[in-house]
Structure 1
């Protein structure tokens, strides 16, 4: 029984580390990913070693499987809280909203405005870059000013230059201090 609890605990640690390692690797942070992989490998060998020692022990196998599942839930939760990286939103509007553009820029989001041709009329598209940790704040602004906007998002693997500099960080800090 003690072995099963150890296996379960190791899986609860192992799977979130696996999740974070994968995310770090995708985000091109290979040194951090390698460090997480080291921890992951040690835990993996220990827990599987205990399971393989006696494959007729269904309690240990069950603890491994349940711990893996619980670890996935925990890993997903941790990843959402850490919110590594950046996200780009394409915001499609039926008409230009200077108020929305100004509010987003004042909040420190990088916004580029495009005018495009729709099937029945022109459309305005905003391309907005945000830290994933500020995604809720961004969505709140959109929902308050342009609740009917059509949004598409995708994560950014890397970027260079542009508005994503210290100026954006300063504006974000200033906006938060203003209490908006």
Structure 2
């Protein structure tokens, strides 16, 4: 019974500290220094206890396997947590062959700020619709885009900092 509890401790400690590492990394990238430092403090305490348990029983393959399985599971959980947190802002660009005036009006009517730019592609003149949005609103935005133009070409990139504009006060209709 003692071995099983040890394996479970190592597994869950490793899941937790790796998930925390993912969250801490996101906070570092987002510039949230204090939050990242706080998470890092607790993350390393958990890590030290887990690695101590493994190193004090290196002759027990179960400890090593529990550690490895906890690490792998922690990575998976970290990504799931990151997806649920959906922190940050995105810049989305859409190239469409549809009527750009109607498309931009449709997106604006559904709560998205849109800027229309003209460009030149292989086929000649094109229009690019650009929007800055909260990451948590991406799925909703994609549904609206796909509903209007399934063949639209869309690129999505992270925005580190935004200031002002229509984006700041926008409310998304959840349909």
TM-score, length-scaled by structure 2: 0.92
Q: Distance in 2 between matches of 1:158 and 1:86?
A: 8
> Number of residue pairs matched?
172
Q: In the alignment, which residue of structure 1 is the partner of 2:159?
A: 156
Q: In the alignment, which residue of structure 2 is the partner of 1:12?
A: 15
CA contact (8 A) 2:10 2:66 kept: yes
Q: Distance in 2 between matches of 1:82 and 1:39?
A: 19
Q: In the alignment, which residue of structure 1 is the partner of 2:142?
A: 139
- Is residue 83 from structure 1 mapped to residue 80 from structure 2 by the alignment? no
Q: Offset at 1:118?
A: 1.7
Q: Distance in 1 between matches of 2:10 and 2:114?
A: 48
Q: In the alignment, which residue of structure 2 is the partner of 1:119?
A: 122
Unmatched segments (≥5 aa) in structure 1: none
Q: Distance in 1 between matches of 2:20 and 2:10?
A: 15
CA contact (8 A) 2:19 2:74 kept: yes
Describe the SS at the equivalent of 1:164. helix
Q: Distance in 2 between matches of 1:85 and 1:120?
A: 34
Describe the SS at the equivalent of 2:68. helix
Q: In the alignment, which residue of structure 2 is the partner of 1:103?
A: 106
- Is residue 52 from structure 1 mapped to residue 70 from structure 2 by the alignment? no
